[in-house]
Chain A
């Protein structure tokens, strides 16, 4: 036989990477996400002030832009006293230290909430998509209801009644986000379950559970992973909103949403810095996660 009827190593893998390149935006988004991840790890340890110690003057404005180069030089060369780069807030907490320490909180809430939502949604979606019976139908109807829940209000109820703690926020968000994954997973499992590979494996004598877990599950995770990126972004926003109505994380934990909502009214008094800097940080982060989700989606589709 000749090699004419099969090609080894198609070029398919090359353009996939090339497609990722697509927008310059992708790089920016990727860098921001990396930076945020990095800050989540080292943020608190590199912040010039303890982000929870309130002993500075309240409402110190950030230094003038023209003074930054000099101050920066002084800071880097180890001379001079630490500077409140982004000013201080109503309590006299250092805004800069809090902005760079916040990713640890925000990301752990968002990532954990998303992770638990996946933990609930993925198996449920797999069950519902692969084994279609009245039990899984009921599961879907329950998931419908969960999905029609007013997410924000429900999160608030859970947090307000169960107590304002990170654990409760994570739990609330996880429960409320899981139906999205049930749905996505189920749809994808139904497509994947109809593929020949399933039939082939069944013909080989694999058990249904083995097929579901070994073939269908891994091949169905794509859309959920794409969605994860978006969900993580939204979870960060939602946490911020919860803080605004007083059901967010516990102060003085450095968290962007809390900073924005506590500082928001300061805008009216001309004290913009306590909320604008975390505002920029949150926008940039959510934007980058969304952009990354978009890139992933395009990569997944092609």
Chain B
């Protein structure tokens, strides 16, 4: 049984199609990354003090790619594919598989055009918004893979960009949407109504070249994998991995402690903390890319008032949140992108818990001693995801207690994830919210800027707080196509400084991504999608 691994998780994959309806769920992504093989990843940097192996973002390495060439003048990428890679089904990896994968992305035939989105972000020729045109002819034409992606031979593909954009390369490492399918196997299950085999991927299997193959999958209950015997990097140590859905965190915890499971996830910091003294188990954590911040909507009065935003920033009990909310496994977040990412800029004068300053700012904002804020009671409903009560409860309680002490009329408003997502992403009407789930999956400050902060007019995507600053947008226009890395870094740093001055987000803490493990299990690596790679685990 030495080669068996049982992971207890809060859920198992709901679907395995990267363009499927469940792609936004972390537990779904966790399934995909075991089976999908990416084009590139990063060299490991060695373990941190808790044993977690971190990547060195400055050293990309080929996975399905053996090598790549970039021609800045022609804006082309020549991808040299690895030879001798075999899928679970035994099919050999060739350019056809990559072409199929890109073609599928462009078809935008799934529930969510996720793969298309990252390629569009990388300015790949042909990946334009035309695919969504309401004019059917235009849309159909746009969905044909043109000369943006060209197969040269079985092991060479050329990709054409429309402008300078480093994000294409950054995004290649994003397994969950840029991993490559086993085209032969996929096409076997295509039907006239579903030429890109979405049903198959969603409900049956995800054929690819990854380290694991699907063994058995009962949605909502458990999924088990077998090591891919043909895997080009060698067969995984754990031949048989089972992920079991155990909805109650406490049950996951005690089962690990009895030694009947080897790994758990999805506990809150306090629960992980309790495992530290237990025999036979350990907790590994990394300050990776997870952070908690407060969103104040610029379209919701009185949050348009910068002094008020700053007053709140000075009122947040950072240390208490680190201790009570995260059992010390966090630190104050002093920027707006993860501090582990290249290009992170630390705030010159970080906000600290300073009630005197907070009071002064509150008065400056026109609300001395909180007077006048009662009119905005509704705005001060602090929203958070109700499913995360166990983790966020202590945090929001600490925040509301601290703010109410300043006569800011905060009430708590937990709402289901779905509704939270809807209001944050689509309606963008969350006035006052705590968020701990947004992280830039592409390891790049520009990716984060475009995703979170740049206004829609300037090509921004998400911008949940309706922040629009022409100064920032102008910088982005430059940085986006800046060919010189140093100049680009400077521009991105300026942007971060502006954001912190404006309190566009109120970053609170960065907290550790943690897992509980049997002390016999080693080699856990961290990837920006925060899903463990079973392949890396060893005794």
Q: Interface of A with B (CB < 8 Å)? A: 52-55, 58-59, 90-93, 160, 163-164, 246-247, 250-252, 262, 264-269
Contact = CB atoms under 8 A, between A and B. Distances in A.
A91 B390 contact: no
A265 B390 contact: yes
26 contacts: A54-B324, A54-B394, A54-B397, A54-B398, A90-B270, A91-B397, A92-B324, A92-B398, A163-B419, A164-B416, A246-B416, A247-B416, A250-B413, A250-B414, A251-B397, A251-B412, A251-B414, A252-B393, A252-B400, A262-B393, A265-B250, A265-B253, A268-B250, A268-B253, A269-B253, A269-B270
A92 B397 contact: yes
Interface string B86-127: 000000000000000000000000000000000000000000
Contacts of A55: 401
Contacts of A251: 389, 393, 396-397, 412, 414
A262 to B, nearest CB: 6
Nearest to A58: B324
B389 A265 contact: no
B405 to A, nearest CB: 8
B248 A265 contact: yes
Contacts of B419: 163
Contacts of A160: 416
B138 interface: no
A251 to B, nearest CB: 6
Contacts of B415: 163-164
B109 to A, nearest CB: 30
B412 A250 contact: yes
Interface string B160-203: 00000000000000000000000000000000000000000000
A161 B389 CA distance: 18
B171 to A, nearest CB: 34
A250 B333 CA distance: 28
B274 interface: yes
Contacts of B394: 54, 58, 90-92
Given A268-B250, A269-B274, A246 B398 contact: no
Contact of B397 (A250, A252, A269): A252
A267 B271 CA distance: 11
B386 A246 contact: yes
Interface in B234-277: 248-251, 253-254, 270-271, 274
B254 to A, nearest CB: 5
A249 to B, nearest CB: 10
Contacts of A264: 250
Given A91-B324, A250-B414, A268 B254 contact: yes
Contacts of A52: 397, 400-401
B462 to A, nearest CB: 24
A280 to B, nearest CB: 20
A20 to B, nearest CB: 43
Contacts of B400: 52, 54, 252
A265 B397 contact: no
Contacts of A265: 248-250, 253, 271, 390
A46 to B, nearest CB: 21
B243 to A, nearest CB: 20
Give me the 10 closest cross-chain CB pairs, A-B, nearest first: A265-B250, A54-B397, A91-B397, A91-B394, A268-B250, A54-B401, A246-B386, A269-B274, A268-B254, A58-B324
